[in-house]
């Protein structure tokens, strides 16, 4: 939904609905998952919780609630029921399509347009499957969020919601509730007195730091996972798809970045080979 280089605009608009407007599953199922995973009744954890989710994406949906213990307003993220089976079915279908595509490549020169991914379809699907299963475990997301928050502790203009570990599990994640404006809502940003250009610069500076300095990368920067808070801070959400870069890879990327800035085409080509 963010790849205008691959798909027409009409496709992107339709796919962008999957960021936070997927048809939700019933509240009763969501609340049963919360009680089962946390081992307590809903009323003993929250003094109030929204009727219906405030956002629903492909892997889970989010409720607005208030903690009974502190009165803090929180976001409660609940994984979709039966998700493991559904994902396994989808991956089996994609695997068959990938194997069929690779067989076409090997049988005919009519499919020259597929050659840029020759032999990579099946391995790409397997990588997608691996990452998706990591994203389905909210405990892993919680740890990634805390690492990211620590890395940006000195950045006053970047915010990561605080995670409530005592109320989180593999299928439930409770965090500080953040209100703000989507980074793609340019008119909304201007009305709030925020400069879209300044927000854009802040966004790519955060990614330079992640890629070149920290080696811990927020791997899913779509508009549903980035908000501009009312005080101008850039808030990051959903760390289920985080990646890690070792020192060698970070060094190669830094070299490539400088070759790009210097318009050193030969150096950049060599970097691309080095990065495989």
Mean pLDDT of successive 10-residue stretches along the chain, which has 276 residues? 79 83 93 96 96 90 96 96 92 91 69 56 86 89 92 95 94 95 93 94 92 87 87 90 87 92 95 90
- Burial of residue 114 (number of CB atoms within 10 Å: 0-12, 13-18, 19+): middle
Q: Counting every residue, how long is the chain?
A: 276
pLDDT of residue 57: 84
Separation CA 69–CA 214 (nearest Å): 35
Q: Name the β-bridge partners of 159.
A: 235
Beta strands in 112-254 (DSSP E): 158-159, 172-176, 180-182, 216-218, 226-229, 234-236, 242-244
Separation CA 257–CA 251 (nearest Å): 10
Catalytic residue among 82, 109, 165, 220: 220
Told to judge if 246 belongs to the known catalytic residues of this protein, a careful annotator would answer no
pLDDT of residue 19: 74
pLDDT of residue 237: 87
pTM for this prediction:
0.81
pLDDT of residue 109: 59
Number of C-beta neighbours around residue 5 at 10 A: 5
């Amino acid at each position: 939904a963010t790849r205008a280089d691959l798909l027409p605009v009409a496709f992107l608009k339709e796919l962008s609905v999957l960021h936070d407007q997927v048809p939700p599953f019933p509240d009763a199922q969501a609340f049963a998952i919360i009680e089962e995973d946390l081992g307590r009744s809903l009323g003993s954890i929250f003094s109030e919780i929204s009727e219906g989710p405030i956002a629903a994406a492909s892997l889970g949906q989010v409720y607005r609630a208030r903690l009974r213990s502190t009165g803090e307003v929180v976001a409660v993220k609940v994984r979709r029921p039966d998700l493991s089976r559904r994902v396994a079915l989808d991956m089996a279908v994609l695997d068959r399509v990938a194997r069929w595509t690779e067989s076409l490549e090997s049988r005919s020169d009519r499919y020259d347009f597929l050659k840029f991914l020759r032999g990579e379809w099946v391995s790409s699907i397997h990588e997608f499957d691996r990452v998706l299963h990591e994203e389905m475990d909210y405990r892993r997301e919680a740890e990634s969020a805390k690492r990211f928050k620590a890395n940006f502790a000195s950045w006053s203009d970047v915010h990561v919601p605080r995670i409530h570990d005592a109320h989180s599990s593999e299928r439930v994640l409770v965090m500080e509730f953040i209100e703000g404006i989507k980074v793609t809502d340019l008119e909304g940003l201007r009305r709030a007195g925020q400069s879209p250009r300044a927000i854009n610069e802040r966004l790519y500076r955060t990614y330079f730091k992640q890629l070149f300095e920290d080696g811990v990368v927020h791997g899913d920067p779509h508009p549903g996972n980035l908000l501009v808070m009312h005080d101008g801070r850039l808030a990051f959400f959903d760390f289920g798809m985080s990646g890690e870069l070792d020192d060698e890879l970070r060094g190669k990327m830094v070299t490539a970045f400088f070759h790009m800035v210097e318009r050193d085409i030969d150096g950049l080509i060599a970097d691309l080979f080095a990065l495989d």
